[in-house]
Amino acid sequence: MPTHTSMLHIRVDDDIKEQATLALTAMGLSVSDAVRLFLRRVVVDQAFPLELKVPNAETLAAMEESRAMMAKRRARFASADELFADLEKSSGK
């Protein structure tokens, strides 16, 4: 069954649109994607959706490390003991 769609026109300050476009692009979304997501969440939750934020530098680095590991199909640690040793070292124990 074909999906029926409607065009939605909104007025937004040019500066806000530009800044939002940059932030959404950093999250991997277009403005249209964000509006569709927003409306879907309103329907599903029957509430105003939570705020999406651009990840900070530490989170972005972790995401990139994870993607690189997945691409190489390798684990960061060779064993559980190596993982626990790194966790203890990082926690200062």
pLDDT computed for residue 31 by the predictor: 95
pTM: 0.52
4 lies in a domain?
no
67-93: per-residue pLDDT in tens?
888 888 777 788 889 888 988 888 875
On whether residue 11 sits in a domain, the answer given is no
Which tokens hold the place of 49? Answer: 């959706």
pLDDT tens, position by position, 9-34? 999 999 999 999 999 999 999 999 99
Identify whether 48 is part of a domain: no
Query: In sequence order, what are the residues at sequence separation of 6 or more whose Cβ sits closer than 8 angstroms to the Cβ of residue 69?
Result: 75, 76
The total number of structural domains in the chain stands at 1
Considering the domain boundaries, does residue 62 fall inside one? yes
Q: Is 81 domain-assigned? A: yes
The predicted-structure confidence for 42-59, as pLDDT tens digits, reads as follows: 999 998 887 778 889 999
Report the number of secondary-structure helices (H) and strands (E) in the chain: 4, 0
Angle, CA 17 vertex, CA 33 and CA 40 arms, to 5°: 25
Does 10 map to a domain? no
Assess if residue 75 is contained within a domain: yes
Domain that holds residue 63: 57-91
On the CB side of 17, CA atoms within 13 Å amount to: 6
**19 in a domain, yes or no?**
no
Torsion of CA 81, 84, 86, 91, to 10 degrees: -160
